[in-house]
Amino acid sequence: MGMNSNNPIAGPTTHATNTERMKLGTSISMSGPIASASACCRSTDCPHSQSFELAHSNSDHFFELQDCGGIEPDATLSQGICYWRRPPWCSNWKEDGPNAKKYEDCFKHRQAEEHSVHDCTSGRPQFHQFMELAPELRERIYRFILASDGPINPHLCDTKLEFHDDSQPRRHGAIGALLRITRVSKQVREESLPVFYSVNTFTIGKDTATYFDRLEHLGRFHMIRHVRFDIDMRKESSTALTLRSMNQFIKEAEAYEDSLTLKDQTIKEPVIFPGTEHHLHAQSIVTKRSAAAIVGESFASLTDHPQYLAGGVSELSALIVLRKLKTTFSSSSGVQTTKLVLPVPRADIFTQYDSLKWFPTVCYGLGIDLHFVENIPFDCAGQGFFTLTWHQKYQKKDFASKALGDASNDMVRHVDVQSRLLELFPDLESMPRPRVNTYYRYGCDGELRAWYSVPTEGGGIRG
């Protein structure tokens, strides 16, 4: 068959000139309109003597079946014609015409007058290297990339020291996937990690306290900026039971942390210098790490901590975390105390509503002095609860330097919760209480994993 302008393989007839037509050096097998990719374009006239496969892979050549000039072709063989097909010329290089203004820019990019439209770089956007951008621009990009769609609810993995986000439909690995950019380089990691913790809000769930201890071990807890939690509307009579449970938890947590701190101490044997009578008596060196930093060191130390068990009790999980968010300060009289600053619509809301009076009473029993920032609405007012968000900026600079540190923990231990509990409820031991608190945990796959029980100290008393 001859050359046909309607042939979709041959392309426009303007390219099929005699000067551009080259015969193959051998007959090739045809399996359709295009020759077999195993053939070779061997014609000495071909300006690009290269393999047929490569030529057709980048569409620089095309084949068309052609009669053999009077030679009878074999029934299964035919000859082909190789055509060099040049893409359309770029018109920007011309000094005259409608694109005259583009000439200088086009010529500078190409350094040649004649080139194809595929090679022309004139007018194409030029992108800077990411690290060449101003730090402010990089931070804006980090904030866009690292922001979660909603509050993050940390969930400790079932089998390894890794946290997922229970708020995400595909919870397993959700936090790790969000942090992928932090693994690009050391500099990007140093720049982006603080952005991740500052731009996102963390909601209090079963494992939030455990997650914060892990961050303290990694030196990142002070980067947290927003923590969301619920305050349930309860009867004021529930205050005694809540404080009793918190007092039990605090005693168990302190005993566990003391055991870990003791193991963390470094004990050195006396060093005797050879040939002398001088020797160095090195005593135990008490660790300077906070208890939380030691707890967050391993999967076992986190799951063995009483807060992993108590964190599943909804009445306790928020209070356990709020104790970590408070700060220590000195009053004008020189007396040290702790404070927790919360944004609320108005400061008297916890005294105006009977169902909210339990909260400031419990905070007093725990040695936490509540402060309020007013005229900030609750995040949510649901059926039987209010949702609000703690913001680090209201805690002032103390939070970054002392949060979860030894000084802060020492202040907590100076508060005798038992004494305050008896002060508020003299008949505490005779008040009704459950024998055990029971709850369940979901696994990483979203399936029910196990039921957990938290026994009540002193046993239960029926009402």
Asked whether residue 330 is domain-assigned, the answer is yes
How many domains would you assign to the chain?
Answer: 4
CA distance 452 to 463: 24
Boundaries of domain holding 207: 150-229
* 121/189 same-domain check: no
Q: Give how far the C-alpha of residue 431 lies from the chain's centroid of Cα atoms, to the nearest Å.
A: 46
Same-domain check for residues 52 and 102? no
Classify residue 142: in a domain, yes or no: no
For residue 124, the tally of other CB atoms under 10 A from its CB is 8
pTM for the model? 0.68
Instruction: Tell me: do 158 and 281 sit in the same domain.
Output: no
Q: State whether 96 and 77 are in the same domain.
A: no
| 199 and 237 part of one domain | no
- Of 201, 229, 257, which marks where a domain is finished? 229
Nearest one of 388, 348, 340, 387 to 364, comparing CA atoms: 340
In a domain, 136, yes or no: no
Nearest to 367 by CA among 393, 339, 388, 405: 339
Same domain? For 199 and 97 the reply is no
Q: For residues 111 and 61, is the Cβ–Cβ distance under 8 A?
A: no
Bridge partners for 65 per DSSP: 80
Domain boundary among 229, 247, 276: 229
Q: Are residues 239 and 266 in the same domain?
A: yes
289 and 393, same domain (yes or no): yes
Q: Is residue 400 part of a domain?
A: yes
Q: Which of 136, 133, 110, 112 is nearest to 121 (CA)?
A: 110
**Do 30 and 100 lie in a common domain?**
no
Q: CB of 346 within 8 A of CB of 375?
A: yes
Distance CA 203, CA 220 (A): 17
Please tell me whether residues 338 and 300 are part of one structural domain: yes
Per residue of the chain (463 residues), give pLDDT as tens.
444 444 443 444 444 444 443 433 333 344 443 443 333 344 444 444 443 344 444 444 444 333 334 334 444 434 444 444 444 555 554 555 545 445 555 555 544 555 555 556 555 566 668 888 899 999 999 999 999 999 999 999 988 899 999 888 777 778 888 899 999 999 999 999 999 999 999 999 999 999 999 999 999 999 999 999 999 999 988 999 999 999 999 999 999 999 888 877 654 445 555 555 555 544 444 556 778 888 999 999 999 999 999 999 999 999 999 999 998 876 666 666 789 999 999 999 999 999 999 999 999 999 999 999 999 999 998 889 999 999 999 987 555 444 444 444 444 455 688 899 999 999 988 898 999 999 999 888 778 889 999 999 888 888 6
Do 273 and 338 belong together in one domain?
yes
Q: How high is the pLDDT of residue 414?
A: 53
Task: For residues 221 and 234, state if they share a domain.
Answer: no
